[in-house]
Amino acid sequence: MRGRLAIRTRLAIVSATLAVGVLAAGLLTVYLIDRRQVDQTLTTAAHRAAADLAAAGLRDGVPPASAPTTPAGNDGGESAQESDDEVLGAYLKARQGSGQLLASVSPGGRRRANSLLARRLWLRGDVAPGHTRRIEIAGEEYVLAAASRGRGRVFAAVPAAEAEAGVRTLLDAMLIVCLVGLIPATGAAWLVTRRALAPLSRMAHRASRVTAGDLSVRMGPVRSHDEIADVAVAIDAMLDRLEGAFAAQRRFVHDASHELRTPLTIARGHLETALVPGGPSSELDRAVRVAIDELDRMGRLVESLLRLARTGADGPATREPVDVGELARRVVARSQILGERTWRVDATPGAIVEGDADAIEQVLLNLISNAVRHTSARQAIDVSVEAGDGIVALEVADSGEGIDPAILPTLFDRFTRADAARGRETGGTGLGLAICQAIVEAHGGTISVASTPGQGATFTVELPRIAGATPAAPAMRAVSPPAHA
């Protein structure tokens, strides 16, 4: 069942989400960098303010409160302390409108601040000199720094509101960019995926036509050079094979029905003749014999069809080393009863293939019986076997009437006869060469023919050779009638 969302919609959503995610990650990185810079700026400003407050007066030559007192008494120390307090008070008064909160705690409990809010800093004794901390005073956020001033301590609090407002503004801008960018990113991703997947929609429409029975439809061509184009090419190749297979099937059914209809018609006619009352016994015998011959021929035709189907579907029944040269000698010796011909056999050693010996013997018998059928008495039939580089070549050549060049391209098709003038009563079933081709191809080989009218024909079978194999001992087989080509 098809999902609620189409592939293009889902891809668009995923693509837009990834795009916005990448954008958000980039903006978040910028935000974190800006956040860190703001914190560093506020911390630096707080330290600088505290350091300036701690150094107030010292730059003008006023001794610190920790300076040693005179031996005469404490008048010098008290005078220095008072002078330092006056300088510090003047500095704090001058910084009242700076926006910073400044305060000090001197020895003896003397406290000073540049504003009422700054007095709250007197309670921040937990902040060690040289350290900072974020605090909140009257609802406002500050960065507090502490520093030492003689034996006392000073505090400086820098307001963070303005800097934080800038950071929040940047964050708001980033969120707006992400939200606004999501819409065009989704639209662009949807358009791109729609265009990229458009060939799939066309292929689905064309596939529905194929399902309806139009095998001439093809998926391509696809203008893009991507995986979709590869799929279209693969499907078109599959459709080519399917169309060829269906065409061959229709042709096979037509030819088989035609071939089977003829002997049935002949047998029926002669049997009806035999049923005529009062007919002579010789006519009855002749009709029955003709009917039996036709039924025998139809049986051979059906057997050939079954053998052809089994060969194409199952391949070789067994796989064992087969010495083709030795097999050729035995087949020729058995085939000499087919006709008075000049038989010649030439086989080189080592012509060993892997396959089904019975099937290869069937190929030889079909080719030899075909040669006998198209030669006259005392004409030559040559069978040669040659072991080459990875190939075993088997040739069956005759010096007979040859083959019409017009039928050479379809000679190995089913129900094709080399001599169209021969009647069905004297000729073969037209399946022998088709069976040969099916067996040879099932063994990974090829079969071909070369012929010149009036000068004979040469059939060549090439099978993959296995080197160094020892052929299995040939089994004793009864001489069987050769198959009809």
**Model pLDDT, residue 77:** 55
Between 53 and 56, the more confident residue is 53
What are the pLDDT digits (tens) for 204-261?
A: 888 888 888 787 888 877 777 777 788 888 888 888 888 887 777 776 666 666 566 6
Q: What is the pLDDT of residue 480?
A: 36
Strand 152-159 vs strand 342-347: parallel, antiparallel, or unpaired? unpaired
CATH of domain 315-485: 3.30.565.10
382 forms beta bridges with 344, 397
pLDDT of residue 425: 44
Considering only residues 466 and 285, tell me which one the structure prediction assigns the higher pLDDT: 466
pLDDT confidence of residue 22: 82
pLDDT at position 477:
38
Ranges 123-127, 133-137, 370-374, 381-385, most confident: 381-385
Which has more confidence, 176 or 270?
A: 176
Least confident of 88-92, 226-230, 298-302, 319-323: 298-302
* pLDDT score of 378: 85
Cα gap 433→435, rounded to integer Å:
5
pLDDT of 315 > 60? The answer is no
State yes or no: pLDDT of 328 exceeds 80: yes
Cβ atoms of residues 101 and 157 within 8 Å: yes
- pLDDT at site 269: 72
> Looking at the predicted structure, is the pLDDT value of residue 73 above 50?
no
Round to whole Å and give the CA distance between 279 and 144: 136
Length of the chain: 485
Domain ranges of the chain: 7-165, 215-314, 315-485
Share of the chain above pLDDT 70, in %: 75
- CATH code: domain 215-314 is 1.10.287.130
Residue 117 has phi, psi (to 5 degrees) of -65, -35
Q: Does residue 42 or residue 423 have the better pLDDT?
A: 42
Per-residue pLDDT at 317: 58
Give residue 178's pLDDT: 76
pLDDT category of residue 481 using cuts at 50, 70 and 90: very low
Mean pLDDT confidence for 127-139? 87
| pTM (2 d.p.) | 0.44
Mean confidence (pLDDT) of the chain: 77
Q: Express as a percent the part of the chain with pLDDT over 90.
A: 12
- Residue 445 pLDDT class (50, 70, 90 cuts): very high
Q: Which is more confident, 127 or 267?
A: 127
**3-state SS string for the chain:** CCCCCCHHHHHHHHHHHHHHHHHHHHHHHHHHHHHHHHHHHHHHHHHHHHHHHHHCCHHHCCCCCCCCCCCCCCHHHHHHHHHHHHHHHHHHHHCCCCCCEEEEECCCCCEEECCCHHHHHHHCCCCCCCCEEEEEECCEEEEEEEEEECCEEEEEEEECHHHHHHHHHHHHHHHHHHHHHHHHHHHHHHHHHHHHHHHHHHHHHHHHHHHCCCCCCCCCCCCCCCHHHHHHHHHHHHHHHHHHHHHHHHHHHHHHHHHHHHHHHHHHHHHHHHCCCCCCHHHHHHHHHHHHHHHHHHHHHHHHHHHHHHHHHHCCCCCEEEEHHHHHHHHHHHHHHHCCCEEEEEECCCCEEEECHHHHHHHHHHHHHHHHHCCCCCCEEEEEEEECCCEEEEEEEECCCCCCHHHHHHCCCCCCCCCCCCCCCCCCCCCHHHHHHHHHHHCCCEEEEEECCCCCEEEEEEEEECCCCCCCCCCCCCCCCCCCC
Q: Which two tokens stand for residue 379?
A: 């004409």
Are 317 and 356 in contact, with CB atoms under 8 Å apart? yes
Higher per-residue pLDDT: 7 or 463:
463
